[in-house]
Amino acid sequence: MLIKELQVINFRNLKYMKAAFDTGIHVIHGGNAQGKTNLLEAIHLLVTGRSFRTTMDREMVPWTRENYEATLIRAQVEKGGFEERFLLSFNSSEKHVYVNGNPIPRLGDLLGRINAVLFTPSDLQLVRGAPGLRRRFLDVELSQISRPYLHHLQRYDLALRQRNALLKQHQRRPALGDELVAWDEQIAVHGSELIATRAEMIEHLSTIASGMYGEIATGTEKLTLEYKPNPSRASGDATAIASQMRAALAASRNDDIRRGATSTGPHRDDFDFLIDGRAARDYGSQGQQRSCVLAMKMAELTLMESSTGEPPILLLDDLMSELDESRKRAFLQSLDSRIQTFITATERDLVTSLVSPRSVWRMEDGHLTEES
C-alpha cells in the first residue's frame, strides 16, 4: 500500500498542498500548530472517512475563509500493484467519496480500501482510558480487514438499540417476553460473531505484540493482551458463543428490564494490557504504557499485512516526543523499508539522527516544502 500522490485543498490550515511520495520513511517536521498532524489526519480521512481527532466535520473545514466552498483530499494510491484514485470532498453540510471516479454512497464502504495504522499521542488512552476506546479500536481494525465483521457489527448495533428501546417500554407494556426473545436472538447471532472474531484477533495481536514489545522495551518484561469478553465465560466458535449468549441474555432478562438496558454482550467487552501478568493500566509506568500501545500498533500492522497481503501505510504522529532515546532508536531501526511511513516531529534531527529517511518535508503555517 502506497500513497504515490497526495493533494489537499482547504483542510484546516492546509490551504493547498500537493506532494509525491515513495516507499520508506517520510519525515514532516515543523513547530507546533504548523499543520503536521493535519496532514496525517487528511491521509487518515481517506482510510475511514472519519477524523481521528473530531466527530465534527465543521471543525475540519476553514468555513470562515472567504470564498470557501469545499475541502478536497485527493490521493493516487498503489494497491496490490494497481493504481486507484481516491477523492474525498466535503464541507460543513455534505460529504462525498469517489474511488476511481465512482461515488461511494456509504462511508462504511470506504473502510478497507486503504489500509493504514495510525499512532498518535492520544493513543495512550488505549491503555489508560475507558473500555469503549478499546472496543472502538478493535472495531475499526477488524472492519478494515473483514467485511463480515462490519456487517455483523452494524446489525448487532441495531439489534441492541431495538432491544434497549423495547426494555424501556416495559413499564407501559408488561408482557414483553416473546418480543424480547426475537431481539435476543439477533443479538446472540451477530454478537457471537463479534466475540469470536475479537477473541481470535486479540490472540494474534498478543503473540505478535509480545515480540514487538521485547524489541522496543529495554527490560526483560513480557507483554500479553487478555481479552475479557462479555458474557465473561464466552468461548468456542460462534455457534457455541451464540448459545452462551442466549443463556446469558435469558439470565439477565429481569435485571435488564429493571434497568432498561442490555447488560450482557460484546458492547460491554474489554481487553487488558498485561506486563508480566499485571495490568499496565494500574501498574505500568508512562513509558511502559506507551511501549504497550506502540507494540500493539506494530502488531496490528503485521496482522493487517498478513490478512490483506500487503503492508499498510504507517502514520506516526509526534512519536519522537513520546519515547525515550533507547526505545526510539530501537523502534525506528526496526521499521521495515517496504512500509510507507509518515513521521511528524518538531525537529528533523530527532529522526534523521537515528534513521535515514526517503524524504524530508518542512511544514510551516500550512505550507509543505521538500528539503534535500
Which residues in 180-199 contact another protein (CB under 8 A)? Answer: 181-183, 185-186, 190
Q: How far is the CB of 55 from another protein (least distance, A)?
A: 21
What does residue 138 show for φ and ψ, rounded to 5 degrees?
-60, -45
Does 109 sit near another protein (CB under 8 A)? no
User: Hey, how many other C-beta atoms are within 10 angstroms of the C-beta on 275?
Assistant: 21
Residue from 96, 107, 136, 169 in contact with another protein (CB under 8 A): 169
* CB 127, CB 293: distance < 8 Å: yes
Residue with cell 494497491: 79
Helix (H, G, I), strand (E, B) or coil at 22: coil
Mark the segment that binds another protein (CB under 8 A) among 15-23, 62-70, 128-136, 159-167: 159-167
Cβ(224)–Cβ(210) below 8 Å: yes
**Using rule CB under 8 A, residue 240 touches another protein:** no
User: Which residue's entry shows cell 531501526?
Assistant: 333
> 53, 79, 128, 155: which one contacts another protein (CB under 8 A)?
155
Which span sits near another protein by CB under 8 A: 67-75, 178-186, 194-202, 352-360?
178-186
Quick one: which of 57, 78, 84, 179 contacts another protein (CB under 8 A)? 179
Is-contact 291 216, C-beta < 8 A? yes
Residue in 274, 248, 318, 242 with CA at minimum distance from that of residue 32:
318
106 makes contact with another protein (CB under 8 A):
no
Q: Does 4 bind another protein (CB under 8 A)?
A: no
Candidate segments 53-61, 175-183, 236-244, 335-343, binder of another protein by CB under 8 A: 175-183
State yes or no: residue 246 binds another protein (CB under 8 A): no
SS3 353: coil
Q: Based on the shown chain and the rule CB under 8 A, indicate whether residue 51 belongs to the binding site for another protein.
A: no
Distances in Å between the alpha carbon of 156 and those of 162, 179, 184, 267, 364? Answer: 10, 17, 10, 9, 45
Q: How far apart are the first and last CA of the chain?
A: 25
Give min distance, CB of 104 to another protein, in A. 15
Residue 240 or 279 with smaller CB distance to another protein: 240
User: With respect to another protein, which residue has the nearer C-beta, 125 or 164?
Assistant: 164
By the rule CB under 8 A, 249 interacts with another protein: no
CA 23 to the chain's CA centroid: 22
Q: Among candidates 230, 235, 232, which has minimal Cα distance to 200?
A: 235
Nearby residues of 95 by Cβ (< 8 Å), 6 or more positions away: 49, 57, 88, 89, 107
Q: Which stretch binds another protein (CB under 8 A): 92-100, 165-173, 216-224, 363-371?
A: 165-173
- Please, what is the minimum distance in Å from the beta carbon of residue 158 to another protein? 5
- Residue 238 found at the interface with another protein (CB under 8 A): no
d(CA 327, CA 105): 43
Stretch (H or E) spanning 272: strand 270-275
In the complex, the residues that contact another protein under the rule CB under 8 A are 147-148, 151, 155, 158-159, 161-163, 165-166, 169, 173, 178-179, 181-183, 185-186, 190
